[in-house]
Chains A and B, each alone.
Chain A
């Protein structure tokens, strides 16, 4: 049996399912070939490698209680992610992980939770939403605000439609632009924050998406009264080792892979505004 405890040596996993989500996004279900998967916490990531191509950090996007499958959602942007997206059922990949810290699931208990996601940023927070829905009674109001470029790029569309039918969570989706058949919100996701219902004094915000979107979302959340230490964001920087050794993902004094990728806004504010970092 392979030992996943050596963080620098990848285990081998087989693709057991591949779903084409949107034009350039695929979701892969993986199964370890000869190792036992230890499970993950929402917010963590794996280093996935395609043999002969390279390695990239990819967040978990699946159900955290499902230890049989490792689920990742990938957008094809460069060599590694394109190779991952083109994998077929039965192909193998290298897996190192899980790495990084997690979204504040325990801290969120008993509070209102507002999840703000943009574009592919819905993938790393989907495990959060699964957890919140499974443990719904332990939280106050639960809100998902999701922004995408256009209706065709809405990730997990069928699932979002299902969530919207639930009476115990508020789900709002907005797109930057649409064709005439779209009947929902059109405009930036930050605009939805002002209209969401939550008690800012007792709320936790979870924000994931492109850095510019996160910066403005964090500002809008703070403007709505949520303290910056209650606003959590997931940072992305190019990574190599995944365990805080190589310095590739250093952001000022922080290593995104080891100290993050989840940080609170009060810690990040100055770093994100510093252009040289």
Chain B
């Protein structure tokens, strides 16, 4: 796919809607399209977190395996969502497995490439942070609610 249409897809993704065009071009330079069949893993716990996935279609289950309990899915990401927040935090490793539960189409952004560009241009770095921070905060908040186990034995 040529960079023009890839750029349009990224510009239309929830994470980057309204993003500055020059920055968008820099992000697009690190990106490619990926297609993952249902049931296939995008990454495993402990793998280098070298990609960020902007999901366009399908769904990715994020799961942790526990001995004797099998895999526990703690989050599922669908269209408009991004996975791969570990790309920002050394040592850049996935802390869970990512499995496609449906045929998934996504934009994969090369994390090392984006890190380099953010390092070289802090304006880009700040703009990218501004996009990722709300996702991180929202996920933290959602995790708190999950921990409260609100549906438990209460009505």
Contact = CB atoms under 8 A, between A and B. Distances in A.
A75 B153 contact: yes
B33 interface: no
Nearest to B72: A177
A184 interface: yes
Interface in A156-191: 176-180, 182-188, 190-191
Q: How many of chain B's residues touch chain A, expressed as a range? A: 20 to 34
Contacts, number: 85
B126 interface: no
Contact of A210 (B59, B142, B151): B151
B112 interface: no
A191 B80 CA distance: 12
A277 interface: no
Given A118-B151, A178-B73, A213-B151, A188 B142 contact: yes
Interface string A187-221: 11011000100000000000001101100100000
Given A180-B61, A180-B71, A212-B148, A187 B153 contact: no
A57 to B, nearest CB: 10
Contacts of A244: none
Nearest to B63: A180
A217 to B, nearest CB: 10
A147 interface: yes
A188 B146 contact: yes
A227 to B, nearest CB: 23
A119 B150 CA distance: 8
Given A179-B70, A190-B145, A216-B145, A210 B155 contact: yes
B151 A149 contact: yes
A245 interface: no
B76 interface: yes
Interface centre among B59, B75, B102 (most CB of A within 10 A): B75
B29 interface: no
A212 B71 contact: no
Contacts of B48: none
Contacts of A185: 59, 76, 78
Contacts of B152: 119, 149
Interface centre among A184, A188, A190, A212 (most CB of B within 10 A): A188
A149 B146 CA distance: 8
Contact of B154 (A182, A195, A210, A216): A210
Contacts of A186: 61-62, 73-76
A210 B152 CA distance: 9
A32 interface: no
B80 A195 contact: yes
A236 interface: yes
A120 B76 contact: no
Given A176-B146, A191-B142, A216-B145, A209 B73 contact: no
A195 B14 CA distance: 11
Pick the 6 closest A-B CB pairs, nearest first: A119-B151, A186-B76, A180-B71, A149-B151, A178-B73, A183-B101
Interface of B: 59, 61-63, 70-76, 78, 80, 99, 101-102, 138, 142, 145-146, 148-155
